[in-house]
Amino acid sequence: MAGTTIKRRVAADGETLNRKYSVYIREKVNQLLQVMGSSPLKPEELDDETLLDLDPLGIIAGSFKQVLDHLKDTNRELTITHESLQAIFDATGVGISIIDRDFRIIKYNEKQRALLVDDGIGDVTGKFCHEVYCNKPSPDIDCPAVDTMETGRPVIVREAAKKGKHFQVVTTPLKDGEGNIMGVIEVLLDISDTKRARDAEREQRGFYLTEKSKLATILQSLSEGLIVTDKRGTIISFNNAAESITGYPEAEVLGLDRERFFDMLSLDERAVKRQERLVNRECSARSRDNRRLTLSLSSVPLQDGSGNYSGQVYSFRDISEEKQRQENHYRTEKLAALGELSAGIAHELNTPLGSILGYARLLMRDRDLPPEDRERLEIIAEQAIRGSAIIKRLLNFARQSTPEFADTDINAVIADSLKVLGEEIGKRRISVTTELGAVRPIRADKRQIEQVIINVVLNALQAVAAEGQVLIRTSSMDHSVVIGVHDTGPGISRDVRTRIFDPFFTTKPFGEGTGLGLSVCAGIVSAHGGAIQVESEEGNGASFLITLPVHRNTEQTT
Amino acid sequence: MVGKKELLELNILGQVCPACLLVALKEINTHSDKLKQGRALLTVKTDHRDATRTIPDTARAMGYDVEVRKVATYYEIQVSARK
């Protein structure tokens, strides 16, 4: 009995103990579950036996081990990240500081100290940023940190300066996990070198622009025409004088190829295209309004800084008038010399010719003279008379009288001249037409100008020969009246054109012309201060252009 | 890549928290090496809503990636190595 009772008591005690252990384990499991964020176990979910079989403490211990391992890994990663960030913070080329809401400096790097902290000041952690960075007792209203702190938006200050350095400031908000602004991260980018380079560039650009403007003014004010091309031959500059001489506006020429423009000018410059350097080459050209020009052209190649060919500069002067004056001068001098010579010869020949004629006539009075001798004497007399006539013309040429100037209506002079030529025109099937413009009267010797017109028109009629057209045109140009006599004859070769105004030069058969007509005309026109020139292409007729100046006081009367 | 992994499945449909948390943790502990190294992927099927919070929270604290999907009448909690 006693043994049974003891056994029963031992069994009861064991059960009680197991019960206590179960309760203890359940309590500890629930505690751990609560730590893990789970609700406690309910007896109906798991009875004690199932709970013990599950080994909950073992499970949770295993899980906690993994949680701790994970935390260790996370801490290691955080440490590495922190160290990396610190290294970047210190080594970055920009100044960085972190400022709290009270504008105290929490953290800053050495670059920030170099840019903003005055020399001799120690650690500034915990000090007010406005005192340390800006030397001010309180933050300015335009402080970017204040702006970012208030608005939560980043702010950029393009340029700020301190300690002789220039920098850009960027402030960005520092927020906590819930988006509240805890402070400001201020980043400074040192732009001193960039600014210096930019200032130097601006200065250089200003200098360049000033020089460019000066050069442009100089080019535009030059009296010489100037064309500049790039290395491909495209025209990149065309000054005022070039416009004025050629008649082409700058806008029409810029961008054109050099050779294309020279073709437009009919510039006789085959040599120019092939040569890089020219000095005062005399070239003929035509202006936009088809005026014949004589240009003195120079050309120099341009080089860049490395000595490479970078373009070409052409400069030119219009020497048309100069050339014409020169020709007139030579012609006048030649005429004067020939006049003197002719007068001398004429005077010396006149006396013997007079004797020859006189004695021939005296002999012809003899009534017994055989008929063949009479005939010979008549030939002698006739030739003496002819020689005398030539001498008379020579004397006329030599004694060209000084013009007697009076107000003269050129159109009326032309009409009178054509009346004189009526018989000559009537002999031929030539249509002579006039296009007489409303020209101003000029100061001229009417008789001499009539002589010029008759001579030139007669030449045109003789050139056209049997059938064709002659057009006489008058027009005004600048301060001159231009008389043009155009014919549809065979034209005049270049060789003849250059000598056509020379005295005694003639293309007519021997004995039919003295070669003095056009020479006398040139002399008269020259004495009037004008010019006569011929334009012609073989096979395409010829044009004589007589330019006579309008006298100032006659100009005012119209 | 998923195709090459061992796919583990724990079906605790009908169980309620916290018992299902303990059961899920036991499964994770048992296969922790394979799961951490990315060689296995554990899918826990449960129809207890609380478990979709407690199991992911605990597994994430243990360093796993967890995704929860609703499938028809139950949830699938997928536990895998952190990427």
Q: Which of B31, B58, B16, B56 is nearest to A33 (CA)?
A: B58
| Closest to A107 (Cα-Cα) out of A96, A118, A116, A117 | A96
A42 band by pLDDT with thresholds 50, 70 and 90: confident
Q: Please give the angle made by the CA atoms of A246, A248 and A249, to the nearest 5 degrees.
A: 130
**Secondary structure, 3-state, A153-210:** CCEEEEEEEECCEEEEEEEEEEECCCCCEEEEEEEEEECHHHHHHHHHHHHHHHHHHH
- The residues, any chain, with a CB within 8 Å of residue A536's CB and separated by 6 or more, are A491, A492, A497, A542, A543
Does the distance separating the beta carbons of A36 and B21 come in below 8 Å?
yes
Single out the residue of A215, A206, A241 nearest to residue A227, CA to CA. Answer: A241
Average pLDDT over residues A365-385: 90
A287: helix, strand or coil: coil
Does the CB of B54 have a partner CB in chain A at under 8 Å?
A: yes
pLDDT at B1 over 50: no
Q: Indicate the pLDDT class of residue A86, thresholds 50, 70 and 90.
A: confident
CATH fold for domain A324-398: Helix Hairpins (1.10.287)
Instruction: Please tell me the least confidently modeled range out of A109-113, A241-245, A331-335.
Output: A331-335
With beta carbons less than 8 A apart as the criterion, state whether A345 and A394 touch.
yes
Reduced to 3 states (helix: H, G, I; strand: E, B; else coil), residue A255 is coil
Of A39, A54, A73, the CB nearest to B22: A54
Closest CB to A66 among B54, B57, B62: B62
* Low-confidence winner among A222-226, A338-342, A460-464 (lowest mean pLDDT): A338-342
- Angstrom distance (rounded) from CA A489 to CA A412: 26
pLDDT by residue (tens digit) across A254-280? 999 988 898 888 887 554 555 567 788
Is the separation of the CB atoms in A442 and A549 below 8 Å?
Answer: yes
Residue of B nearest to A42 (CA): B18
- Give the max Cα distance, chain B: 33
Do A96 and A89 meet the contact criterion of CB atoms below 8 Å apart?
A: yes
**Does B18 lie at the interface with A, CB-CB under 8 angstroms?**
yes
The backbone torsions φ and ψ at residue A223, rounded to the nearest 5 degrees and listed phi first, read -80, -15
Nearest by CB to B22, which of A39, A59, A69?
Answer: A59
Bridge partners of A237, per DSSP, are A228
- Residues from chain A that touch B18, judged by Cβ atoms under 8 A, are 33, 38-41, 45
Indicate if A222-318 has the same CATH topology as A93-190: yes
pLDDT of residue A324: 77
Residue with tokens 């478990």: B51
Q: Are A392 and A345 in contact (CB under 8 A)?
A: no
Is residue A293 packed enough to be buried (19+ CB in 10 Å), middle (13-18) or exposed (0-12)? buried
CB within 8 Å: B18 and A59 = no
Give the distance from residue B80's alpha carbon to the nearest chain A alpha carbon, in angstroms.
Answer: 14
Q: Chain B residues with CB inside 8 Å of A67's CB?
A: 58, 61-63
* Contact at CB, A60 and B25, closer than 8 angstroms: yes
pLDDT at A275: 54
CB B64 within 8 A of CB B82: yes
Asked if CATH classification 3.30.450.20 holds for the domain at A93-190, the reply, yes or no, is: yes
**Residue A160: predicted pLDDT:** 87
- Burial classification of residue A519, based on how many CB atoms lie within 10 Å of its CB (0-12 exposed, 13-18 middle, 19 or more buried): buried
Residue of A nearest to B16 (CA): A45
Residue in A closest to B81 by C-alpha? A70
Enumerate the domain spans of chain A: 25-91, 93-190, 222-318, 324-398, 406-556
Joined tokens for residue A286: 């035509």
B58 touches chain A (CB under 8 A): yes
**Residue (of A456, A453, A470, A469) closest to A412 by Cα position:** A453
CB contact under 8 A, A56 and B22: yes
AA letter at B39: R
User: How much is the pLDDT for A220?
Assistant: 84
A81 vs chain B: nearest CA distance in angstroms?
18
DSSP structural state of residue A133: T
Chain B's closest residue to A65, CA to CA, is B62
Q: In angstroms, rounded to a whole number, what is the distance separating the alpha carbons of residues B21 and A112?
A: 53
Nearest by CB: A70 against B26, B53, B61: B61
**Residues in contact with A480: Cβ distance below 8 Å, sequence separation at least 6, in sequence order:** A530, A547, A548, A549, A550
Residues in chain B: 83
With cut-offs at 50, 70 and 90, classify the pLDDT of residue B17: low
**pLDDT attached to residue A510:** 62
Are residues B28 and A63, on separate chains, in Cβ contact within 8 Å?
Answer: yes
ipTM: 0.91
Question: Are B22 and A37 an interchain contact pair (Cβ–Cβ within 8 Å)?
Answer: no
Instruction: Please give the tally of structural domains in chain B.
Output: 1
Cβ–Cβ gap A39/B23 under 8 Å: no
- Out of A41, A59, A67, name the one closest to residue B26 (CB): A59
pLDDT above 90 as % of chain A: 36
Distance CA B18, CA A38 (A): 6
Residue A511 pLDDT level (bands cut at 50, 70, 90)? low
The b/e string for A250-282 (b: 16+ C-beta within 10 A; e otherwise) is: eeebeebebeebbebbebebeebeeeeebeebe
**A491 CB contacts (<8 Å, ≥6 apart)?**
A536, A537, A538, A539, A540, A541, A542
CATH number for the domain including B62?
A: 3.30.110.40
Higher pLDDT: A13 or A100? It is A100
In this complex, which of A38, A67, A70 lies closest to B17 when CB atoms are compared?
A38
- pLDDT at residue A508, as a whole number: 74
Other C-beta atoms within 10 Å of A87: how many?
10
* Residue in chain A lying closest to B63 (CA): A70
Average pLDDT on A528-556 reads 82
Per-residue pLDDT band for A72 (boundaries 50, 70, 90) equals very high
- Residues in chain B with CB shorter than 8 Å from the CB of A70 are 61-63
Is A471 an interface residue toward B (CB < 8 Å)?
A: no
Beta bridge partners of A257: A234
Token pair listed for B29:
């502990």
Q: Which domain holds residue B58?
A: 2-81
For residues B49 and A374, what is the distance between their CA atoms, to the nearest angstrom?
164
Please answer yes or no on whether B58 and A66 come within 8 Å at the CB atom. Answer: no
Q: At A247, is the pLDDT very low, low, confident or very high (cuts 50, 70, 90)?
A: very high
Residues of chain B with C-beta less than 8 angstroms from the C-beta of A69:
63
User: From the CA of B71, how many Å to the nearest CA of chain A?
Assistant: 23
Q: What is the pLDDT of residue A149?
A: 92
Distance from CA of B22 to the nearest CA of A (A): 7
**pLDDT value of position A558:** 40
* Contact call for A37 and B58, based on CB within 8 A: yes
Is A41–B63 a contact, with Cβ atoms under 8 angstroms apart?
no
CA dihedral over B13, A33, A47, A54, signed as positive or negative: positive
What percent of chain A has pLDDT above 70?
94
Q: Does B34 touch chain A (CB under 8 A)?
A: no
Q: Do A62 and B22 touch (CB under 8 A)?
A: no
Residue B81 one-letter amino acid: A
What pLDDT digit, counting tens, does each position of A459-475 carry? 898 888 778 899 999 99
Q: Which of residues 64-83 of B touch A (CB under 8 A)?
A: none
What pLDDT, on the 0 to 100 scale, is given for residue B7?
Answer: 94
Among the partner-chain residues A38, A66, A73, the one whose CB lies closest to the CB of B18 is: A38
Contact list, B63 vs chain A (CB under 8 Å) = 66-67, 69-70, 73-74
Nearest to B18 among A41, A62, A73 (CB): A41
Per-position DSSP letters for A402-450, written without gaps between them: PP--EEE-HHHHHHHHHHHTHHHHHTTEEEEEEEE--PPPEEE-HHHHH
Higher pLDDT, B29 or B14: B29
A92 or B33, which is more confident: B33
Poorest-confidence range of A366-370, A380-384, A394-398?
A394-398
**Residue appearing with tokens 């004088």:** A241
List, as one string, the DSSP characters of A17-34: HHHHHHHHHHHHHHHHHH
| A317-326, A355-364, A479-488, B54-63, range with the lowest pLDDT | A317-326
The predicted structure's pLDDT at residue B33: 94
The CATH number that domain A222-318 falls under is: 3.30.450.20
Three-state secondary structure along A474-543? EEEECCEEEEEEEECCCCCCHHHHHHCCCCCCCCCCCCCCCCCHHHHHHHHHHHCCCEEEEEECCCCCEE
Chain A touched by B32 (CB under 8 Å)? yes
Given 3.40.30.10, 1.20.5.440, 3.30.565.10, 2.70.98.40, which CATH number is that of A406-556? 3.30.565.10
Interface test with B, best of A38, A39, A50 (most B CBs within 10 A): A38
Give the model confidence (pLDDT) of A271-323 as tens digits: 455 556 778 888 888 999 888 888 999 988 888 888 888 889 999 999 988 88
Distance CA A391, CA A382 (A): 14
The lowest-confidence range among A209-213, A274-278, B67-71 is A274-278
- A52 interface with B at CB cutoff 8 Å: no
Q: Which of the two residues, A434 and A499, has the higher pLDDT score? A: A434
Mean pLDDT, chain A, rounded, equals 86
